[in-house]
Structure 1
Amino acid sequence: MSETLKIVSWNINSVRARIELVERFLTEESPDILCLQETKVRDDQFPEGMFRRLGYNHLILCGQPMHHGVAMLSRVPLHEHNRFDWQDNGEARHIGAVLENGVRIENVYIPAGGDLPDREANPKFGQKLDFYERMTNWSASLKTPTILLGDFNVAPLESDVWSHKQLINVVSHTQIEVDTMKKLQDAHGWVDIGRKFIPDPERLYTWWSYRARDWRQSDKGRRLDHVWVSPELEDKAVSHVVHEDSRGWTKPSDHAPLITEFKF
């Protein structure tokens, strides 16, 4: 008997500030599992009431005050919870769990890396590269079929940004970040689900800056959010879309949700 699961990844940019948007999204799309990044709330202050009312009774939280934070809200059981400190400073940037079928889900919020793509002049950029290196080392020994998703804060392909020429030296699209992400991908043979369903060079963005007066008209987007899977799960993914409309809702996150359906 096959099982279909709809899994969503969304950098919500404060779950409490956008709880009404999250409720609207859950009501309209009805995913089985919602993976949030940048929740910006301590675990004991997480607004779990709405989620439970909608049937998301399996909650895994990894938060901290005001910054970062990840969460997994699920209608199906989640087991073997884990947290990796890939930032190596205690920040709440990862949470993981195992589904009933043995597939692991890892929800990650990789650092943005500051404004200057220089490790010496900008320690935040070095932290980002080191975060990727720790994930790469973990990936190299990974044996469990895994879904890795979240805000990776790198747009690797030229078609993943509105202007490759103008962003080539801007953090999130520099060559060193692209190369670093490629090492992570190669370490486990990760399959990029976004580009499996929307092949390069088609336009594919997940983030649009708040600075744009009309984000949709200017469309200066970047693909910072990703869903990757272990090679043996590639054929289990049956659809993948970016829910761009939610970027136009009142007081939105600057990221759009990624909706992926799997058939196990």
Structure 2
Amino acid sequence: MRFSITSWNINSVRLRIDQVTRFLSEQSPDVLCLQETKCPVDKFPEKAIRAAGYEHIAFAGMKGYNGVAIISRFPVADIAVTGFCEKEDARHISLRLGPQAGEAAGLAIHNFYVPAGGDVADPAVNPKFAHKLQFLEEMRGWADRAAVSRAPSVTVGDLNIAPLEHDVWSHKQLLDVVSHTPLETSTLERLREEAGLVDSMRDLRPEPEKIYSWWSYRSPDWSKADKGRRLDHIWLSPDLAPVCRSVEVLREARGWERPSDHAPVTAMLEL
């Protein structure tokens, strides 16, 4: 069985629902995980998604900020929304695929939207950066409780950190920029390693290949400048890493009309 899962920071699901349905139609992932949906629960565009052939939707949201969703071809179970940092700000949702998913039945999926952290990489003067570091620290406890490495699991999301040298357009120029500071990158890598999870993109496409999934809106010609960062990740439990056949960024989606500043990242597993 070939199983595909996509992670995409959509930057407002209501504003970009046409892009979501286009992606579902053209790419047909088995599961699509969205972040930054910026949508309260009662306004989530379920009807349009179901019309695209995806009947099973789990989501957590709030007005104007954050928000995560998991859209599935298959029935799902054990949906859970977890709060971090004593906040109920819709940054994590998880579930398991039901028995109808065939070889993927029972697969646990965790979808995260890690805080961006603001502009100043100093927790003493920037509460947003302090929040980000606290969130990452609490993710270490989550990984232990969820036992993500001891059962088939996929952890995805906009983690708002480009951890490796070739995950950014210029390692030297971005060392002091939030999302690529040594404190963030070392914290994220330690978290992933302690959780026993595999960075699927870099497992298949190791450095020095440059890989980006985000390009700033501030660039007048984002594609030509190509000053990107790899902020979006798909981590696999060790039993799934050997059956991952590809992990690709749909760069062209960054060029669609009124795009998100993130592009979809899709992993293909052969179960």
The alignment's TM-score, normalised by the length of structure 1, stands at: 0.97
Secondary structure class of the residue paired with 2:166: helix
Q: Deviations over 1:64-83 (max 9, x none)?
A: 00100001111111110111
- Can you list the C-alpha shifts for 1:204-256, whole angstroms capped at 9, x where unaligned? 00000001111000000000000001111111212110000000111000000
SS of 1:159's equivalent in the other structure is helix
Matching of residue 109 in structure 1 with residue 116 in structure 2: no
Identify which of 132, 135, 156 aligns with 2:139.
Answer: 135
Distance 1:81 1:125 in 2: 29
Q: Structure 2: which 5+ runs fail to align?
A: 99-104
- Does structure 1 residue 98 correspond to structure 2 residue 102? no
1:87–1:93 Cα contact (<8 Å) kept = no
SS in 2 for 1:92: coil
1:176 maps onto 2:180 in alignment: no
Letter in 2 for 1:42: P
**Structure 1 residue runs of 4 or more that deviate by more than 2 Å after TM superposition:** none
Equivalents in 2 of 1:197, 1:209: separation in Å? 26
Give distance in 1, aligned partners of 2:259 and 2:179.
Answer: 21
Structure 1 residue 20 displacement after superposition: 1.2
The corresponding residue for 1:14 is 12
Identity of aligned residues (%): 49
Number of the residue aligned with 2:101? none
- Corresponding position of 1:69: 67
Shift in Å, 1:179: 1.2
Q: CA RMSD in A?
A: 1.0
In the other structure, the counterpart of 1:80 is 78
Q: Please, what TM-score do these two structures have when normalized by structure 2?
A: 0.94
Which residue of the other structure, out of 205, 225, 230, is the alignment partner of 2:232? 225
Q: State the aligned residue count.
A: 262
Do the aligned partners of 1:105 and 1:148 also contact (CA within 8 Å) in 2?
yes
Residues in 2 aligned to 1:58 and 1:202: alpha-carbon distance in whole angstroms: 36
Is 1:124 equivalent to 2:128 in the alignment? Answer: yes
Contact 1:96 1:107 in 2 (8 A): yes
Amino acid at match of 1:114: G
Distance in 1 separating the partners of 2:69 and 2:88: 16
